[in-house]
């Protein structure tokens, strides 16, 4: 299956089942934006059965999201996988018992869109003032991540602390992007989209994390425009 094209529509039931099974095996987060984007439903795929024409997913850990989902006639799901954005519609899921637990099921989608993942230009901040994102967690110490690239849609960052437990689909509110050059921190809420262990030149292991901005203040847009200006000015001097 080619995944390097800008975008394509998948209609083969076998190929759709294979793709959703990969999402299941890799335990990737699937999301749905409900109530005009104000409610985010996040889950993982538990089973894909081509013969029974069904996909089984978990309930969200957030009950209001489950309630909003069950009130809809149809829902659009999203998933990011290997630098691709997967998107598909389904009828409203119904409850089913699977492996001893109450879960949700819906028919195998008849159409899946395989699109380029990133809708916003990412700016590298390597040559600009250092940025950090303070990820606040309940009942745990905040995580300080060194931002490596940023856009209006999300950011990439490195976490140098050991023992940090993060998983795709986790959402953290009341986070702050800060820098010595910023007068005030910028408030954001982030969703973890992927996590990867990387090794520095000296052999130190770090975590590379990709996040989507769930909510962000208008100050973030101003910061992006400032970075775009500085990048343009830097390029013109070369």
Average pLDDT, the chain: 80
Fold matches, 7-116 and 123-236: no
34 vs 209, residue with greater confidence = 209
Beta bridge partners of 102: 97
For the beta carbon of residue 67, count every other beta carbon within 10 angstroms: 13
96 vs 61, residue with greater confidence = 96
Provide the CATH topology of domain 123-236: Thrombin, subunit H (2.40.10)
Structure tokens at 116: 């380029």
CATH number of 7-116: 2.30.110.10
Residue 237 scores a pLDDT above 50: no
Instruction: Report the C-alpha gap between 2 and 8 in whole angstroms.
Output: 10
Q: Confirm whether pTM is higher than 0.75.
A: no
**E strand spans, the chain:** 7-10, 29-34, 39-49, 54-57, 74-81, 84-91, 94-98, 101-106, 112-116, 123-124, 131-135, 143-150, 154-159, 171-178, 186-199, 205-216
Work out the average pLDDT over 178-205.
Answer: 78
Phi and psi, residue 172, nearest 5°: -125, 125
Helices (H), the chain: 13-25, 63-70, 218-236
Residue 218 scores a pLDDT above 50: yes
pLDDT of residue 14: 96
70 vs 148, residue with greater confidence = 70
Instruction: Report the C-alpha gap between 67 and 60 in whole angstroms.
Output: 10
Residue 238 scores a pLDDT above 50: no
pLDDT of residue 36: 65
Instruction: Report the C-alpha gap between 104 and 98 in whole angstroms.
Output: 9
Greatest alpha-carbon span in the chain: 64
Confidence of residue 125 (pLDDT cuts 50, 70, 90): low
All residues at 6 or more sequence positions from 44 whose CB lies less than 8 Å from its CB, including other chains = 24, 27, 28, 29, 30, 57, 58, 169
Residues 169, 90, 93: CA angle, nearest 5 degrees: 75
Beta bridge partners of 172: 190
Instruction: Report the C-alpha gap between 103 and 123 in whole angstroms.
Output: 40
Which percentage of the chain shows pLDDT scores above 70? 79
Q: Domain ranges in the chain? A: 7-116, 123-236
Confidence of residue 127 (pLDDT cuts 50, 70, 90): very low
pLDDT of residue 179: 73
């Amino acid at each position: 299956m080619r995944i390097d094209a800008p975008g394509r529509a998948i209609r083969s039931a076998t190929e759709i089942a294979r793709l959703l099974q990969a999402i299941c095996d890799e335990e990737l987060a699937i999301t749905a934006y409900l109530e005009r984007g104000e409610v985010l439903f996040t889950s993982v795929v538990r089973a894909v059965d081509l013969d029974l024409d069904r996909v089984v997913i978990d309930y969200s850990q957030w009950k209001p999201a489950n309630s909003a989902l069950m009130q809809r006639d149809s829902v659009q799901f999203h998933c990011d996988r290997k630098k691709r954005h997967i998107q598909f519609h389904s009828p409203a899921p119904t409850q089913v018992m699977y492996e001893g637990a109450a879960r949700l099921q819906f028919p195998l989608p008849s159409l899946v869109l395989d699109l380029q993942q990133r809708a916003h230009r990412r700016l590298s901040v390597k040559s600009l003032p250092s940025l950090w994102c303070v990820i606040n967690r309940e009942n745990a110490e905040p995580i300080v991540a060194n931002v490596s690239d940023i856009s209006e849609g999300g950011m990439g960052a490195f976490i140098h602390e050991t023992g940090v437990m993060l998983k795709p689909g986790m959402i953290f509110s009341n986070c702050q992007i800060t820098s010595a050059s910023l007068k005030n921190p910028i408030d954001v809420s982030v969703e973890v989209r992927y996590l990867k262990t990387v090794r520095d030149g000296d052999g130190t292991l770090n975590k590379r994390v990709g996040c989507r901005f769930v909510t962000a203040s208008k100050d973030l847009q101003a910061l992006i425009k400032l970075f775009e200006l500085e990048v343009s000015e830097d390029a013109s001097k070369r």
